């Protein structure tokens, strides 16, 4: 399972571990991923996604999963999130 947020596209980045003696060793900074269940109001269905804590705050800030996916760029979204976005757009167009 990859360590990439399904909504924001955040992944691991690299940097230096710096000791007290100022020795530098390469290390990885991993995103804070959590498996959460988000509810879609339009579809009336819940979805399990692996998203970062910052991504979860962004979803809450924009007013839910439907509003977040409507504004999200397709490049950042995972294939699972893209399918959800297309289903929401289709349901809104039909209504």
pLDDT given at position 2? 87
Which pTM does this prediction carry? 0.87
Asked if 48 contacts 6 with a C-beta cutoff of 8 angstroms, the reply is no
Asked if 18 contacts 10 with a C-beta cutoff of 8 angstroms, the reply is no
Residue 34: count other Cβ atoms within 10 Å of its Cβ.
Answer: 13
* CA-based end-to-end distance of the chain: 36
| pLDDT 10s digits, 28-43 | 999 999 999 999 999 9
pLDDT given at position 1? 73
Residue 95 pLDDT greater than 90, yes or no:
no
């Amino acid at each position: 399972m990859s360590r990439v947020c399904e909504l924001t596209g955040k992944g691991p980045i690299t940097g230096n571990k710096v000791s007290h003696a100022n020795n530098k060793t390469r290390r990885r900074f991993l995103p804070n991923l959590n498996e959460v269940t988000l509810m879609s109001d339009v579809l009336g269905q819940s979805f399990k996604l692996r998203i970062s804590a910052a991504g979860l705050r962004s979803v809450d800030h924009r007013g839910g999963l439907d509003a977040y996916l409507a504004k999200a760029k397709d490049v950042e979204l995972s294939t699972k999130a893209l399918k959800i976005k297309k289903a929401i757009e289709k349901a809104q167009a039909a209504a």
